[in-house]
Amino acid sequence: MDLKGIIAIAGKPGLYKVAAQGRANIIVQSLENDKKFPAFASDKISALDDISIYTYEKDVPLVEVYTLLAEKENFGKSIDHKEEPKKLRAYLVTFLPDYDAERVYDTDVKKLFQWYNLLVEKGLISKEKAAEAKKIKEEAEARLADEQAKAAEKPVAKKSAPAAEKAGQAEKKPAKEKAAAKEKKAETPKASAAKKTTDKPAKPAQTKEGKTTKKGA
């Protein structure tokens, strides 16, 4: 069941489908009489596939509620929306027993059955539509499961053995070169400073007589 493109407009009875998109508005077409007119941003527009029904546990999308009702009615029309609210609520319980009676108003229940019967009348709710929607859903789920299975089987990329060895050698090389340079430096003797000799040629010494003699002679 696909309700995309089907909308309700506050203050206007029935349902509509989007016929065209304008710059500042949309052109809608009535499902009841096919009349077209513009709808503006100021209009309170609700898409049926965005509407949910309150229950005590969660909000149930309208499309799921209509699926339950359609299966109950064998995809035919349901109770007339003009029946008394009490009778409509009693019927609602037969296929949605946990709906929140306090938050779902009489007007909501009335619209629920009114819209359903209109959608059935226009062929938008039928066995064929339900089968088509089910097939599309199953195909989408199958594709998703297949993609997840392929992703799980995909091996993690690893470095090849030669590449890993090469990378390891590249990492070790700087350390080896550094150690070799250190050893070479330790083996090279330090240059010793040349000692200055203190032995100098003896100067001749003068005697009192003015003669020179060699020192130590």
Read off the pLDDT of residues 117-140 as tens digits, 9 standing for 90 and up.
999 999 999 888 777 777 777 888
Q: Is 47 exposed, middle or buried (0-12, 13-18, 19+ CB in 10 A)?
A: middle
Q: What is the pLDDT along the chain (217 residues), one digit of tens a residue?
A: 778 889 999 989 899 999 998 888 999 999 999 999 999 988 999 999 999 999 999 999 999 999 999 999 999 999 999 999 999 999 999 999 999 999 999 999 999 999 999 999 999 998 887 777 777 778 888 888 888 888 888 765 555 555 555 555 555 555 556 555 566 555 555 544 444 444 555 555 554 444 444 444 4
Residue 73 lies in a domain: yes
Q: What is the pLDDT of residue 118?
A: 96
125 φ/ψ sector (left φ>0, alpha ψ -120 to 50, else beta): beta
Residue 46 lies in a domain: yes
User: Rounded to whole angstroms, what are the CA distances from 130 to 63, 74, 135, 139, 205?
Assistant: 11, 11, 9, 14, 137
Residue 106 lies in a domain: yes
Residue 151 lies in a domain: no
Residue 94 lies in a domain: yes
Question: What range defines the domain where residue 116 resides?
Answer: 6-127
- CATH number of the domain where residue 83 is located: 1.10.10.1650
Reference 118, options 38, 10, 11, 17; nearest CA is: 17
Give the rounded distance of the alpha carbon of 14 from its chain centre.
37
Count of the separate structural domains present in the chain: 1
Q: What is the pLDDT of residue 139?
A: 84
Residue 217 lies in a domain: no
CA dihedral (58, 18, 115, 70) positive or negative = negative
Under DSSP, is residue 47 helix (H, G, I), strand (E, B) or coil?
Answer: strand
Tokens of 58: 């969660």
User: Rounded to whole angstroms, what are the CA distances from 20 to 3, 32, 37, 47?
Assistant: 17, 18, 10, 15
pTM, rounded to two decimals: 0.64
Residue 183 lies in a domain: no
Residue 144 lies in a domain: no
